[in-house]
């Protein structure tokens, strides 16, 4: 996607290279592989660990407001900062962080189109230094839960067809041929998908270089499955990070008004006693 010209929430690798030292901008790397940041990152970027910093480590939940405020404050971010997120796997967990920051009402948060993959492939500058930031004060807003779907809303969507369900996992996960992506631990008791869900794998949003596809391509992709944004949409995957990328595409690139990310995803639905499962 021609990022700068199309969407205010996407920036190019060039833009990041030019603004990495801008005091009003904080670049943050968030990876699936939490060791990737240590293998070299955008100079001056903070690194956030999704397994410890972007969740509640006791209860299964997103980061509590106080925890997020502390993370942002120690990253030198206040409410007026521009936050630019990027990461591995074409920005899976960068999108997860984006989603949480929007839940807590951060105004200016963006994603680096192409993520870590594009930055590396372009041979850009990397650093292994962990920058120190001047502490700032951050105040999270009341959570906007219109961006998040919980189990009862998904059950209602199934029973009353009150929302379009978009399963963004791979076709093999959708059909139940496998219970988790190859090489990763199986984290559910049953394979398949939520009844009525459409299969639109997250990877179809992206080009080979990791950037997002054009708006026309994205419109065609979702339109071909009858997902036009005219009504409510709920996206899900296995743990909610791939679906946060699809949520980002639908809400911020395509402009769908009512899109929620079901972060309980298949690790919730596929473990529920008595839940309906559709195959293939």
Partner 1 sequence: MKAEHYSRELRELAGWQISIETYKLGDVYHCTISNADPGARFARADGATREEAEQKALEKAERFLRQTRRFTTG
State the residues that interact with partner 1 by CB under 8 A.
Answer: 31-33, 35-36, 39-40, 88-90, 92, 117, 120-121, 123-128, 169-173, 175-184, 186, 191, 201-203, 242, 279-280
Residue 203 has which token pair?
């990877």
Smallest distance from the beta carbon of 250 to partner 1, in angstroms? 18
Closer residue to partner 1 (CB): 5 or 35: 35
Q: Does the annotation count 237 as an active-site position?
A: yes
Cβ atoms 192, 236 nearer than 8 A = no
**Dihedral angle, C-alpha 98, 102, 106, 111, nearest 10 °:** 30
Ordered strands of the 233-236 beta sheet: 198-199, 164-167, 233-236, 259-261
Smallest distance from the beta carbon of 252 to partner 1, in angstroms? 21
Q: Which DSSP string do the residues of 79-107 spell out, in sequence order?
A: TT-EEEEE-HHHHHHHHHHHHHHHHTT-S
Burial class (CB in 10 A: 0-12, 13-18, 19+), 135: exposed
For residues 37 and 35, give the distance between their C-alpha atoms in angstroms, rounded to a whole number. Answer: 6
Closer residue to partner 1 (CB): 40 or 105: 40
Closer residue to partner 1 (CB): 121 or 145: 121
Cβ atoms 246, 233 nearer than 8 A = no
Which listed residue (55, 188, 206, 237) is catalytic?
237
Smallest distance from the beta carbon of 207 to partner 1, in angstroms? 13
Smallest distance from the beta carbon of 150 to partner 1, in angstroms? 24
Closer residue to partner 1 (CB): 77 or 275: 275
Report the catalytic residues. 237
């Amino acid at each position: 996607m021609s990022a700068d010209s199309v969407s205010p929430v996407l920036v190019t690798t060039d833009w990041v290279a030019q603004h990495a030292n801008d005091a009003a901008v904080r670049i943050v790397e968030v990876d699936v592989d939490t060791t990737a940041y240590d293998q070299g990152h955008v100079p001056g970027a903070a690194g956030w660990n999704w397994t410890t910093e972007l969740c509640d480590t006791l209860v299964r939940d997103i980061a509590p407001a106080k925890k997020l405020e502390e993370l942002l404050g120690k990253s030198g971010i206040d409410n007026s900062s521009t936050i630019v997120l990027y990461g591995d796997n074409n920005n899976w967990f960068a999108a997860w962080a984006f989603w949480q920051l929007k839940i807590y009402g951060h105004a200016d948060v963006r994603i680096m189109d192409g993520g870590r993959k594009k930055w590396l492939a372009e041979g850009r500058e990397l650093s292994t230094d962990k920058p120190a930031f001047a502490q700032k004060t951050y105040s999270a807003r009341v959570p906007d839960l219109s961006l998040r779907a919980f189990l009862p809303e998904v059950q209602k969507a199934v029973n009353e067809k009150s929302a379009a369900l978009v399963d963004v996992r791979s076709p093999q996960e959708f059909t139940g041929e496998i219970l988790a992506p190859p090489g990763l631990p199986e984290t559910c008791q049953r394979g398949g998908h939520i009844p009525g869900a459409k299969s639109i794998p997250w990877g179809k949003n992206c080009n080979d270089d990791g950037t997002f596809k054009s708006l026309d391509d994205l419109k065609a992709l979702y339109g071909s499955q009858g997902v036009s944004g005219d009504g409510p949409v709920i996206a899900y995957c296995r743990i909610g990070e791939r679906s946060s990328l699809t949520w980002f595409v639908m809400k911020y690139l395509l402009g769908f008004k009512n899109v929620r990310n079901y972060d309980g995803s298949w690790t919730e639905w596929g473990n529920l006693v008595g839940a309906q499962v559709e195959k293939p």
